[in-house]
Amino acid sequence: MPTIQTIDINAWYGTKQALKNISLEIEEHSITAFIGPSGCGKSTFIRIFNRMNDYIEGFKMEGQVLIDRQDINAKEVRVEELRQRVGIVFQKPNPFPKSIFENVAYGLRIQGINDKKVLSEVVEKSLMRAALWDEVKDDLNHPALSLSGGQQQRLCIARTLAVEPKIILMDEPASALDPISTSKIEDLATELKENYTIIIVTHNMQQAARISDKTAFFYMGEMIEYDKTTDLFTNPRHERTENYITGRFG
Amino acid sequence: MVRIKEKVIEGLLMTAGMITILTTLGIIWILFSESYGFFKEVHIVDFLSDTQWTPLFAQKHYGILPLLSGTLLVTFIAIMVALPLGIIIAIYLSEYAPANFRNKVKPSLEILAAVPTVVYGFFALTVVTPFLQNFIPGLSTFNALSAGMVMGIMIIPMISSLSEDALTAVPKSLREASYGMGATRFQTAIKVTVPAASSGILVSVILAIGRAIGETMIVTIAAGQQPVFTFDIRQSVETITAYIVQVSLGDVQHGSLEYQTIYAAGITLFLFTFLLNNISYFIKKKYQEKYE
Ligand SMILES: Nc1ncnc2c1ncn2[C@@H]1O[C@H](COP(=O)(O)OP(=O)(O)OP(=O)(O)O)[C@@H](O)[C@H]1O
Ligand SMILES: [Mg+2]
């Protein structure tokens, strides 16, 4: 039973088509990687799952996105509630200019939860799950911007985890990070898979191969190939995919 | 040939710059030297603590407090009007309005600041005051309330425009982080964007206060010319600027102590706006560093 299903997604920025007829299904508790050359529509597509494109002027979309069989673009769906179920981590760490604690507590605060004890528990749990707790447990009141880039990104992951989403979207979460931080994020994604469904955009082939169960290759707004990661990397069915993953891309 | 032309242009620009600086210095020099004459006659302690200002009467008192209270009272009312409205407009424009709407509304708002102040003054006196008199018993024909409210409307675009710039400068990634966690636009504005832009908003408010303190026409027309030390918004008050107008237009003899009072009043005004400008400059510099 797939958690996520898209049916014939087409999307435009103004008159420029960014996504063409994309249909795919994603299983629960799996990691799915989106790969493809720059500008092929990976970010546009991943942001469709929690409607982050809604506020982009001129953006238009057709097709259906079903999450747990529910059409997330249906009128009765509150987009705020959807985004609590489908969290997102961006390419560049973007902590709020607040304390570490307040960053992680943010999602609960906007739900009206201000009980200090509840917040403390959730902050601790989320930081633990994001593998950041040991590094910051004595500095929770320090500004988040005083952390290193890698720590900031794990903080952003903790912040996302704090609202207990079921699905986590990651748009190149490690591309701005050093190798050690990158491998921490990768380990983290693998661990989180137990409880969450993860979609990750990456430019790093090894990363996709290391952590994902399935991989989708995009090219100029189309999904060229979508398969088990091992199959796609060892035995691509399309020449374009092969060229891309072997780095022979022109 | 080209080099000579460059030199001439450079010289002209330089002269233009020098003229402004010299004018400013000249004004400051006159302010200080003339008020020096004043403070030789009137002790600074009396000036700052006497609650009566009656230089034009037989029984002379030279306490700046009534003029100061008049100025601050009207300014306070103006800010009470302009601050909430200006910030709400700024939030609406930066967080809600589509770009093409924003690009139309912003210049039209700025027209408010381009209306001649004498028109505002007249409007306060002949429209706002009679209207408010329907609800507020005891509101005099000349009063602090109408002048302050209308002045507030005039300075709305100062606050809304600069605050909107500050809000728009907040990186989009912060808004997306907030939306991505399920925050509404309003929550995002209140909890993320406004705090992140707070220094810029503060600068806009300080500049607006400076503008309100220095505003002359509206208060001269609508607030009256009675220097009373009061914080009753229904009463007629006199601001520093209005007093300076009154004396400048009157038949007070040049060079007399009565005449020098306007320099003492002027220097008080100058110190206030100078201070406010410096504070805003200081905040602006700090805030620029934060984003770079
Ligand atoms: N806000 C926008 N307005 C207009 N066009 C956009 C916008 N965002 C993306 N596009 C266009 O849509 C296409 C797909 O962009 P998208 O960001 O989804 O690509 P991507 O695969 O994520 O690229 P990258 O790997 O560089 O992040 C590109 O051609 C891009 O120029
Ligand atoms: Mg992208």
- Cα–Cα distance for residue pair A75/A184, rounded to 1 Å: 39
Choice between A160 and B287, residue whose per-residue pLDDT is larger: A160
Say which CATH superfamily domain B65-286 falls into: MetI-like (1.10.3720.10)
Dump the DSSP string for B259-289: HHHHHHHHHHHHHHHHHHHHHHHHHHHHHHH
- A59 at B interface, C-beta within 8 A: no
- Cα–Cα distance for residue pair A29/A19, rounded to 1 Å: 26
Q: Order across the sheet with A31-35: list the strands.
A: A70-71, A59-67, A2-13, A16-27, A222-228, A214-219, A31-35, A197-201, A167-171, A86-89
Q: pTM of this prediction?
A: 0.86
Q: Give residue-wise pLDDT tens across range B44-98.
A: 999 998 889 988 888 889 999 999 999 999 999 999 999 999 999 999 999 999 8
- Using N-to-C axis directions, what is the helix angle for B257-291 and B65-91, rounded to 10°? 30
Query: Nearest by CB to A96, which of B177, B179, B187?
Result: B177
- Predicted local confidence at residue B252, as pLDDT: 85
- Nearest CA to A201 out of A46, A78, A85, A4 is that of A46
**Which residue from A16, A199, A201 has its CB within 8 A of the most atoms of ligand 1, so it is best to mutate?**
A16
- Predicted local confidence at residue B209, as pLDDT: 94
Which residue is listed with tokens 């100058």?
B270
- Nearest CA to A233 out of A217, A221, A250 is that of A217
What ipTM does the predicted assembly reach?
Answer: 0.92
Mean residue pLDDT of chain A comes to 92
Residue whose Cα lies nearest atom 16 of ligand 1: it is: A41
Per-residue pLDDT at A1 exceeds 60: no
Query: Nearest by CB to B173, which of A84, A92, A106?
Result: A92
- Cα–Cα distance for residue pair B233/B216, rounded to 1 Å: 18
A-chain residue closest to B190, CA distance? A110
- Strand-pair partners of A65: A6
